[in-house]
Structure 1
């Protein structure tokens, strides 16, 4: 049966005004191969629906085989995508010049005519949001050993971005849907369209808020103050999700259990953190290690940025090179506070003004890839904790 192509052309749009700008920018990037639209169309069998492996506000992702035989994930940005020229170029610049076991690898891009396409290495097991947090939608088994491997791998990838790259990189959108898994369930941090490169001599930058509500550090969400500690906060939320096997927000649960971080804090104060461990693990986990990981997540999500550890310290805590001191754990920055802020700013809509004059969406699912530049509530979970 013949597969029909995905039409991305049509009438001229404002994006045509940026074609020259894109071409000039890409020509200065040494490690980004430029693919023709024809080549990528052939690789995906004319963007055949059976090859589609993901979809989000940015467009669609297709599996394809390149001319050299490599399998690739081909990310096609739609004309209506909220990821603009700036984000497209940022993603290419950031990821083309760095390489790490726990980061996705960019093969190249296409900026032919009105098309904007990114070509990445193909990762067989999709994202954490579609597998671990998708529950019934995945046949993968996440043992405790696998979960520890994923947590430590993501931590190492972030430590590399924060401390081994100059200028250092703040990802700004660490979340389950941006952690992809290869055939061996090795985690790869993806989606660098919102990343910020920050010179070492700056303590922070003030910027418009972009990311996903539920993972956003309070100082960043409320004041636009961005440091590496914003990523540390997001990682802490992700760590909670991986250990518990549930999304950070689940409106289907009783009110006292809807926000994962708040529940973790209550259990910590009662000395009952073990209750947060995913019931699907049964007895197949190390109790001491599980409690340690949960305590590290609380260290990462403390309301004061300076109290949060660096990502290199997080790696040492998770691997046992350093010990967690319970006395250093203070109250976390609560999602409910940000929800209250959202409600105060928008009593009649479901959006939150992000300081840039633009409104950002606040609805999402654990099973879809959220759009760039959005603050999104992750509210759908297939399993109760």
Structure 2
């Protein structure tokens, strides 16, 4: 009975989280698209890319930024040559409360001038697609579509996560968007000037959004561009990434008002304990007499299992996956759920306090496992008609283009 009671608590908590997700996707996401054309063009955007020293990876990102964006900066920890961007090295002497990536963000905010309406931050591995303009919002989240980099299981978990992130389409109706990460995030430059990044955190994007919501009446929009970024190349890397995400969010939850905290903690608990749903399904289907599992819990676990498959189906839809592959991913959903939750559970039980860069692979590795990227079959256009294969030509110009600036 004790096992059934504990399992019942987990299933009820996850059920509440699933109901909230459905409410976001079905109700709150109404009118998520901006009305009419984008109010701001690419000429109103400055792009900043942060890295430690991943020169080949960053070059691949810069090469996909549309030509109409002529103000591109790379903020690095070590000198490098990047064609098509101005490189700035964060000086060792710079000190602030923020650390690691946050320190670089704060240095760039204080040092780099921005006369554009928006500062768009891209991860070092982001391949920009369908970027044509900006809605008139204080914070703009671009959706993502991680690509396979060596681990099929990690990539399957990313498909599942992308499906769950459909809830972001409802965040524009929330005073406090529940998170912001992945793909790319654009911030109105005047808002960044007011807030800055000088806080100690390991989840900078979400922390900034929560601080902005607390101190200002900010507007939040999602643009469904499906920027390509890299799925973790191994399960170990993915576990550490998820651990950092959940650790940072839990550490910063004091920024949320009391009315949001029950919702947030329910979601965290549900994520960390989600493997209980496949376990309950297995027990109710194949070992019904081994534990005192009430029929209502068996029915609830079956219903929640359907919800998990729905998350995966949303991810498959976002990826525009071939219909023949959908059954295979649906069958793999329990595995994805368990693996996706390991890092979250690790972060809850043993939070990490230091920022750890997620391992990335070079563009040549991406092309070797995604040959279709070279002929555009993955819709890898960047809004100007240039394909990702143009990276090779542009990277050869690295020695003759924008200078390195040692600040």
Q: Return the structure number with greater relative CO, CA threshold 8 A, min gap 6.
A: 2
> Does the pair score TM above 0.5?
no
TM range (shorter): under 0.3
- Answer with 1 or 2: which has the greater Rg: 2
TM-score (norm 2): 0.26
